[in-house]
């Protein structure tokens, strides 16, 4: 499929996503497979995915140059997928993130703020000290760090299932 189809899909979805209070995370075109990932400030429903699939499927079927033999998948990005758009950061305010920067540095912290250009995370510093043959973690003051989105290679929400 052509790369221009991706642009068409993005344009077709603008109004529908706004109506549903959703936002587009990513459109992937691989061979004859179209994957659309959408998210919202509240969770995406199966019915919303079905409506988006019908809208895009109907338009793709009429689009010149698109094979009749394609697969269309519409879903939310899932818990283990990286955050890709600013709205995803906004939705996950207060959550712990594992971040890989473009220079290879790894950073872990609580998402505290987000703007158009970057995020602020709170990094808890811990220092291990030996106390009578037992290692004890001593909490140090927290550090606030601003990271530009352009410097983030990958950011994933860290889930703690023990809570």
The pLDDT tens digits for 50-93 are: 999 999 999 998 888 777 788 999 999 988 899 999 999 999 99
Q: State how far the Cα of 55 lies from the Cα of 53, in Å rounded to an integer.
A: 6
Residue with tokens 């890709």: 84
Its pTM stands at 0.79
Q: State how far the Cα of 127 lies from the Cα of 148, in Å rounded to an integer.
A: 27
Task: Report CA 148 to chain centroid distance, whole Å.
Answer: 16
Q: State how far the Cα of 153 lies from the Cα of 32, in Å rounded to an integer.
A: 27
pLDDT tens track for 144-160: 999 999 999 999 999 87
User: What contacts 64, CB < 8 A, 6 or more positions away?
Assistant: none
Alpha-carbon torsion 143, 147, 151, 156, what sign?
A: positive
Q: State how far the Cα of 163 lies from the Cα of 57, in Å rounded to an integer.
A: 41
List domains and CATH numbers for the chain: 3-75 (3.30.300.70), 86-157 (2.30.30.100)
pLDDT tens track for 95-110: 999 999 999 999 999 9
Residue with tokens 């991706």: 6
Which pLDDT score, from 0 to 100, does residue 127 have?
62
Proportion of the chain above pLDDT 70, given as a percent: 87
Which pLDDT score, from 0 to 100, does residue 34 have?
94
């Amino acid at each position: 499929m052509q790369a221009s189809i991706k642009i068409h899909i993005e344009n077709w979805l603008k109004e529908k996503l706004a109506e549903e209070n959703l936002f587009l995370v990513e459109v992937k075109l691989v061979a004859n497979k179209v994957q659309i990932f959408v998210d919202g400030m509240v969770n995406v429903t199966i019915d919303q995915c079905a409506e988006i699939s019908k809208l895009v499927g109907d338009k793709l079927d009429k689009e010149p140059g698109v094979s009749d033999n394609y697969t269309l998948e519409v879903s939310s990005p899932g818990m283990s997928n990286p955050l890709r758009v600013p709205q995803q950061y906004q939705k996950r305010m207060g959550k712990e993130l594992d971040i890989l920067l473009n220079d290879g540095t790894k950073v872990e912290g609580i998402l505290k703020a987000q703007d158009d250009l970057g995020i602020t995370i709170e990094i808890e510093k811990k220092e291990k000290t030996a106390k009578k043959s037992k290692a004890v973690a001593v909490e140090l003051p927290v550090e606030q760090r601003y990271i530009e989105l352009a410097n983030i290679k990958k950011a994933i929400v860290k889930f703690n299932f023990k809570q």
